[in-house]
Amino acid sequence: MFEGNELHYSHIYNQFIFGNTYPSDLAILNEKNINVFELKRSSLSNDSIAQIEKEIKKHLYYSLFSGRLCAKNVRRFNFYLISLKDNRNNKIRRIISGKYRGARRKIKESRENNIIFVDYSIENNTLLLEKAKFDH
């Protein structure tokens, strides 16, 4: 999805890579990129906005200072929000995108900070992941 993300040079962690009180569902790290995958079991709802905003801020900000990261010159932070495919997600995604932009503006770092929405569905006992199609 992102050129130069260098996933083949990455290490995968499940929780607590950013510190004991900062778990994420999955973090894939290398010298120049941080990829955080936040997994939601269901579709997005108004009730999930506050928790997702908290997760965004936690990872976005703490990733700047974590002593556990192997890289000090991170050039890209990607926050993947994975949720059950549902056409009603788009309204919530617009709200979450706004919250992400607000949190990102507070960072004076020179790295690129992205939010990527991913839909999941299950067809014929197969998990399917696809980038969500919606206008930011």
CB 98 within 8 A of CB 117: no
CB 27 within 8 A of CB 13: yes
For 124, the token pair is 């014929």
pLDDT along the chain (136 residues), means of 10: 64 53 67 86 94 89 72 82 92 95 85 92 91 72
Q: What is the pLDDT of residue 58?
A: 84
Q: What is the pLDDT of residue 52?
A: 94
For 121, the token pair is 């569905």
100-103 long-range contacts, CB within 8 A, separation 24+? 100/56, 100/60, 103/53, 103/56, 103/57, 103/60, 103/61
> What string of DSSP letters covers 46-102?
GGGHHHHHHHHHHHHHHTTT-TT-S-SS--EEEEEEEEE--TTHHHHHHHHHHHHHH
70: left (phi over 0), alpha (psi -120 to 50) or beta: alpha
Q: What is the pLDDT of residue 18?
A: 47
Q: What is the pLDDT of residue 120?
A: 92
Q: How far apart are CA 126 and CA 48, in angstroms?
A: 26
Structural domains of the chain, with CATH: 7-131 (3.40.1350)
Query: Which amino acid is present at 38?
Result: E
Full-model pTM: 0.82
